[in-house]
């Protein structure tokens, strides 16, 4: 039987280093899970949640799918959101898209991809919703990047419309929803000027949805 020995050895080295740095780390971690953050991101292997924001295991609850979608019929995603809000009591949900998203490329390339095309239809809906704005962008890469940003906006809209989030706000629970975009070229996460703490916070004008290039990634979490 073939085994992935190099990964098992890497795990040993990682666990050893963690133990050397903090001998009580794994014992403490095994007894509780109390993250303040839920990360809803893309499944892309180049976008690992913990590493990007330099958080240790136990500090961020994570849900990932192709193109960081929040779909009302996706019980997997909704179950994660419900557990994060109702049980873990997270205070911040980050919906994180990324430039160069393969899922968004596939949704628009006009080819058949099999089963995944049913999932990609939701991205095509976002494209149609914002078709007028996107049509004004002549450069294909810039247009794709803008769709990645607008997709984050639409997924936040979907998230805010769930009964889970609405019930949390109705009972006065602290909950902030942030829209971020990750750039594979420089490793930086940028705030999209989206921080929603109640339904009326979501901007109707998508011209306001744009990356804050000079704002540190930690800034939205302090709101």
Domain ranges of the chain: 1-32, 34-222
pLDDT higher than threshold 60 for residue 43: yes
Averaged over 111-120, what is the pLDDT? Answer: 96
Contact present, 72 and 129 (Cβ < 8 Å): no
- How far apart are the C-alpha atoms of 61 and 73, rounded to whole Å? 21
Q: Of the given ranges (131-135, 155-159, 218-222), which has the lowest mean pLDDT?
A: 218-222
pLDDT higher than threshold 60 for residue 205: yes
The answer to whether the predicted template modeling score (pTM) of the entire model surpasses 0.85 is yes
pLDDT higher than threshold 80 for residue 218: no
pLDDT higher than threshold 70 for residue 187: yes
pLDDT higher than threshold 90 for residue 163: yes
Q: How many CB atoms lie within 10 A of CB 136?
A: 8
Q: How many CB atoms lie within 10 A of CB 148?
A: 25
Strand pairing report for 92-98 and 60-65: unpaired
- How far apart are the C-alpha atoms of 3 and 84, rounded to whole Å? 34
Can you read off the two tokens belonging to residue 10?
Answer: 């890497």
Instruction: Write the burial class of residue 63 (CB in 10 Å: 0-12 exposed, 13-18 middle, 19+ buried).
Output: buried
Residues 6+ apart with CB under 8 A from 19: 25, 26
- How far apart are the C-alpha atoms of 174 and 53, rounded to whole Å? 22
Percentage of the chain beyond pLDDT 70 is: 95
Kindly report the average pLDDT of the chain as a whole number: 92
What CATH number does the domain located at 34-222 have? 3.40.1050.10
pLDDT at 10: 95
Averaged over 206-212, what is the pLDDT? Answer: 87
pLDDT at 33: 83
Show which residues are catalytic: 42, 44, 46, 98, 101
pLDDT at 223: 41
Give the closest residue to 39 by CA, choosing from 24, 29, 27, 52. Answer: 52
pLDDT at 188: 94
- How far apart are the C-alpha atoms of 211 and 177, rounded to whole Å? 16
Q: How confident is residue 207, by pLDDT bands cut at 50, 70 and 90? A: confident
Q: How confident is residue 1, by pLDDT bands cut at 50, 70 and 90? A: low
pLDDT at 214: 46
Contact present, 84 and 60 (Cβ < 8 Å): no
Q: How many CB atoms lie within 10 A of CB 200?
A: 9
């Amino acid at each position: 039987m073939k085994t992935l020995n190099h990964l098992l050895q890497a795990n040993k080295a990682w666990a050893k280093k963690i133990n050397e740095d903090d001998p009580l780390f794994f014992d403490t971690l095994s007894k509780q899970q109390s993250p303040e953050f839920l990360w809803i991101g893309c499944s892309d292997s180049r976008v690992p949640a913990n590493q990007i924001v330099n958080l240790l295991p136990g500090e961020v609850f994570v849900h990932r799918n192709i193109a960081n979608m929040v779909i009302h019929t996706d019980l997997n995603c909704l179950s994660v959101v419900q557990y994060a809000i109702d049980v873990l009591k997270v205070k911040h949900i980050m919906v994180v898209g990324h430039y160069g998203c393969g899922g968004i490329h596939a949704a628009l390339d006009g080819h058949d991809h099999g089963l995944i095309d049913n999932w990609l239809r939701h991205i095509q809906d976002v494209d149609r919703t914002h078709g007028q704005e996107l049509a004004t962008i002549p450069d294909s890469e810039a247009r794709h990047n803008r769709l990645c940003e607008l997709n984050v906006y639409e997924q936040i809209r979907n998230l805010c419309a769930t009964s889970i989030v609405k019930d949390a706000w109705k009972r006065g629970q602290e909950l902030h929803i942030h829209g971020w975009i990750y750039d594979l070229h420089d490793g930086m996460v940028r705030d999209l000027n989206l921080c929603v703490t109640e339904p009326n916070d979501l901007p109707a004008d998508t011209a306001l949805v744009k990356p804050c290039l000079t704002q540190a990634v930690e800034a939205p979490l302090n709101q």
